[in-house]
Amino acid sequence: MAGLRFDPLWRSLVRRLGADLAAEAEQGRLVLWLPVAFMGGILAYFGAPREPSLVAALALTAMLAVAAAAARRHAVAIGVFAGLCAFSAGFSAGGVRTTLMMHEVLLRAPSFPVRLNGYVERREQRVNSDRILLRLDPGPIRGLDGPIGLVRLSLKRGTAPPVGTHITQLTRLLPPLGPAMPGAHDFGRAPWFQGIDAVGFGLGRPKPTPAAATPPPSVSVARAVDEIRAALGARIRAVLRGTPAEIAVALVAGDRSAIPPQVEESMRVSGLTHILSISGLHMALVAGTLFALARGALALVPALALGWPIKAVAAVLALAGSAFYLMLSGNDVPAQRSFVMTALVLSGVLVGRRALTLRTIAVAAVVVLAFTPEAVLDPGPQMSFAATLALVAAYERLQPLRALPRPDGLAARIAMMPVAFAAGIVVTALIAGFASGPYGAFHFQRFAPYGVLANLAAMPAVSLLVMPFGLIGVLLMPFGWDSLAWPVMGAGIDIMLAVSDHVAALPGANGRIDTVNATALFWFTVALLALCLLRGLPSLIAAPPLIAAILLCGAPPRPAVLIAPNAMTVAVRGADGRLSVVGGRAQRVVVEQWLTREGDVRSARAPELERGFTCDPLGCVAPLPGGGTLAVSRRAEGLAADCLDARIVVTSDAPPKGCPARVVTSTELERTGTLAFVLDEGTLREQPARNPAVQRPWMPRLPPLPLEDADRSPDRSATESDDAVAE
């Protein structure tokens, strides 16, 4: 009998599910899944181990588009072909973008300084150093085999020339940084898509020199924008001082380079770091404030209010102001996405339609990713799109609450305003945190347990004081009265900083987590999309992938040994399960990535990191998990003893012939990147950060080693090396 009762219930659920899906299709909501297919195609493109054929991808997209058009009278067929066409279009977008950006990067660091001549195209004045983007003069460079055109250089603090200056600079050049360890974020991909051919650091001060030709258009535009940003920064710093001034400059002019690291860390721990990154919050506040000011000012003139479409005029002015703010902010992908969404919303105002919908998100995603498909792999756009998608979906579902009866009387309505405002902040923080949290945990191995509390306390100041008066200051600047607005903005920033410091000091505020892996993140993404894009019973489809994401969470296998490409920075896992690191100061950024990936809160500069190593003038040794020792050789005269005593030897020198240990040289690391050893049933299995099977333009194949270097670095597996040591 129980089976008979269950069968009709199951059939009823299936019929209900089919009816709801049919209703979704009739209302055109299944079109929201086309951008998902588009992003899937981009991911497939970047996941390919070899560069795909652009001609083949474009031809397939064209054929699928024709098939979708031919099947337009058949609902199921056109849905299938449209989805496949969107997937192929995303794949093609990645290929087109790569083809347009195609350039060669510096493969090997020259062993001598190189003198570079060119125009400063971008300048960042940081707390500890300056950084510039140098657009080199055309022509060969002495000492380099291939041409390079754009170089990112680190300079001594306070020495970076203004944007547009033609300089000569003696430089130590390096290839763009790759992944810090196997499976980590590829730091070389984003610079490649920015056109950067090499990185390095300056030796001495840059010297201004006369230019032989007019600057490139990119330099001229960058100089004009930088002059505007510098003028804004100077006016703000003339009124405000210290950290509030630098945060105001970051929010108004998009230059956050001078914000103290401890302030950024405090805001990151408290869950307020999103305020420093120009994104949807800032674009919405700028556009909303401009729209309200323009519409209110026009409404004060009866002739304009009665004879002009002041709402449309205000929307146009808000759109122009948002475009100007996008230019000042640095034109990052989150800002681009926010501007596209703002433009769509304001376009809806112009035509009299509600535009803040999931279709707005879909169009914004396609537009942004069509021009910058590589952004789909970066944490910022992932977190931004996830939070925005969840908020708009929640906004749609909460629409019926607006129809609830409001309290009678003016006093009651005024009393309800702060309650509604606080409730809105709490709901927004919870939804955005739930949607973007797993991506932050996956990329940064951290979460903000008190984020809702911090946002509830700080957002009123940000929304009512910081951003509106920052915009008012910019509008008053041409008239010389901007000094009235900056103190109010600074007061709001002081409140925000006080909230950040108090929340960051709470017990357990610095949340670290390393259990969100790629598989769990994939299933969470599927669940998020199903929950946001489907309504009614079909939204319950999100439950199985969400459960799978929770069950599949877990820390990935942790390496027993990590060897940085400089052959001096080495980490070994100790008996307590934590990494001990020697030579960390030489590769501080890499060590920070190693520690962050494990949720380790220790600083890369902490002396306690070296406790697992025993050092003398010849080198350092540390015990290996599973037995044996690792030796880091500092002088060639100690190599013979290291070969006999150690299981793994790391050196920049040529080892003696017949060395029974597994020798890792700087020449080999130049090809592999960071080399990891994972303990697998007593055997140390090697994992290079640069997978030799993957050859893409931003991770090109290095030229063959010279014969003498090849003899020094025999191609042996870890198992063979372990067997040799055991014998």
Digit-coded pLDDT (tens) for 700-709: 766 554 444 4
The reported pLDDT for the residue numbered 281 is 65
Which residue has better confidence, 207 or 712?
207
Q: How many CB atoms lie within 10 A of CB 141?
A: 19
Judge whether residue 522 has pLDDT over 50. yes
- Determine which of 201-215, 305-319, 414-428 has the lowest per-residue pLDDT on average: 414-428
Percentage above 70 pLDDT, the chain:
91
The count of other CB atoms within 10 Å of the CB of residue 420 is 10
Mean pLDDT throughout 499-507?
Answer: 92
Please give the pLDDT value at position 132: 93
Q: What is the pLDDT of residue 236?
A: 92
Q: Which amino acid is at 210?
A: P
Backbone angles phi, psi at 160, to 5 degrees: -70, 125
Say yes or no to pLDDT of 528 above 90. yes
pTM beyond cutoff 0.75: yes
Looking at residue 710, its pLDDT comes to 42
User: How many distinct helices (H) and strands (E) make up the chain?
Assistant: 25, 18
- Report which secondary-structure segment, H or E, holds 66: helix 54-70
What integer best gives the mean pLDDT of the chain? 84
pLDDT in the model for residue 74: 84
pLDDT score for 711: 42
Q: What is the pLDDT of residues 317-375, one digit of tens each?
A: 888 888 888 877 766 666 777 788 788 778 877 777 666 688 888 888 898 899 989 98
pLDDT value of position 280: 63
Of the candidate ranges 109-123, 351-365, 446-460, the one whose mean pLDDT is the lowest:
351-365
Q: Which of 19-33, 157-171, 441-455 is predicted least confidently?
A: 19-33
Task: For residue 726, name the pLDDT band (cuts at 50, 70, 90).
Answer: very low
pLDDT level of residue 174 (50, 70, 90 thresholds): confident
Percent of the chain with pLDDT over 90: 32
Q: Which amino acid is at 482?
A: D
- Name the E strands within 636-715: 648-651, 662-665, 675-680, 683-688
Which pair of structure tokens corresponds to residue 623?
């015990």
| Higher pLDDT among residues 390 and 286, named by residue | 390
Token pair 């998990």 is found at 625
pLDDT of residue 240: 93
* pLDDT of 54: 95
For the cut 90, the answer to whether the pLDDT of residue 91 exceeds it is: yes
Query: What is the model's pLDDT at position 724?
Result: 28
Output the pLDDT for position 713: 39
Burial of 599 (0-12, 13-18, 19+ CB in 10 A): middle
pLDDT in tens, 674-699: 999 998 877 889 999 888 788 889 88
Q: Residue 667: is its pLDDT beyond 70?
A: yes
Q: What DSSP designation does 653 have? A: S
| CA–CA gap between residue 591 and residue 624 (Å, rounded) | 19
Give the pLDDT confidence score for residue 708 in this predicted structure.
43
Separation of alpha carbons 440 and 442, rounded Å: 5
> According to the model, what pLDDT value does residue 402 have?
66
C-beta of residue 335 within 8 angstroms of C-beta of residue 343 = no
Model confidence band, residue 636 (pLDDT cutoffs 50, 70, 90)? confident
Residue 125's φ and ψ, nearest 5 degrees, are -100, 105
The Cα–Cα gap between 281 and 278 comes to 8
In the block, residue with structure tokens 């090849």: 710
d(CA 134, CA 122): 7
Amino acid identity, residue 104? E
End-to-end CA distance of the chain: 70
Classify 221 as helix, strand or coil: helix
Bridge partners, 199 (sequence order): 152, 174
3-class SS at 204?
Answer: coil
- Res 192: pLDDT: 92
pLDDT of 723 above 50: no
Mean pLDDT calculated for residue range 607-628: 89
| Alpha-helical regions (H) of 71-109 | 75-100
Angle at 373 between CA 198 and CA 41, to 5 degrees: 130
Per-residue confidence (pLDDT) for residue 404, from 0 to 100: 67
